[in-house]
Structure 1
Amino acid sequence: MGKSVALAYVLWFFLGYLGIHRLYCGRIGSGIVMAACTVVGGLTAPLFIGHVLLFIVGVWWLFDLVLTARMAGYRG
């Protein structure tokens, strides 16, 4: 049985940069990687690498707008 698509999108919108929506949908590995990139990017923001990591997470977050429904198990 799939997860709630509505809850997955609420998590995506408010906590998506931390990968919480991925953790909820059972994508533990990629959720942890997303959270780690956000934390490392935030801590190294004064350096150029921090901005690059945060940009990557932002693009990943936007791609997840489309992918979250499928990750949550929506088959429609």
Structure 2
Amino acid sequence: MTLSTEQQILIEQRVTNEAKSIVVAYLLWACLGWFGAHRFYLDKTGSAVAMLVLSLFSFVTMAIVIGIFTFAVVAIWVVVDAFLIPGMINSERSKLRDQLTSNASITNAAVQNTAAV
């Protein structure tokens, strides 16, 4: 079942309004990236908590040299995330678009079944 042009426009408008902002994600990455703030914002809670714990562990154990190695891991992770953020946002937008399209299709089907009766 296909959606009308109006429905498609409304879906795209909702996706634009409801999706996470790439600007906010990069600001969080730049300011609080070491603590996984951008991952919390993008609903990647598990990896955000891991990043936060690893960062805190690094700062606490810096004096006994272990922290230097874990700090390097977090630093690499933060740099890699700079390239992953657009993909995370696009993935979220695709999921939202699919969900809204599915809901609109179900609504259309229900309306057509009601009209047929």
TM-score of the superposed pair, with normalisation by structure 1: 0.91
1:51 aligns with 2:92: no
Between the aligned residues of both structures, percent identity stands at 32
How far 1:72 sits from its partner (Å)? 2.3
Moved over 4 A (4+): none
What does residue 42 of structure 2 align with? 25
**Alignment counterpart, residue 86 of structure 2, candidates 57, 69, 72:** 69
Q: Could you say what the CA RMSD is over the residues aligned between the two structures, in angstroms?
A: 1.4
Write the deviation string for residues 25-51 of structure 1: whole angstroms up to 9, x where unpaired. 010000000000000100000112101
3-state SS in 2 of match to 1:72:
helix
Contact 1:18/1:35 (<8 A) preserved:
yes
What is the number of equivalent residue pairs in this alignment? 75
Q: Which amino acid aligns with 1:17?
A: W
Separation (CA, whole Å) in 1 of partners of 2:34 and 2:62 = 15
Separation (CA, whole Å) in 1 of partners of 2:89 and 2:37 = 12
What does residue 26 of structure 2 align with? 9
Separation (CA, whole Å) in 1 of partners of 2:78 and 2:46 = 15
Write the deviation string for residues 12-67 of structure 1: whole angstroms up to 9, x where unpaired. 00000000000100100000000000001000001121011111000000000100
What does residue 106 of structure 2 align with? none
Separation (CA, whole Å) in 1 of partners of 2:36 and 2:53 = 9
Q: Please, which runs of 5 or more residues in structure 1 have no aligned partner? A: none
Q: Please, which runs of 5 or more residues in structure 2 have no aligned partner? A: 1-14, 94-117
**Which is richer in helix?**
2
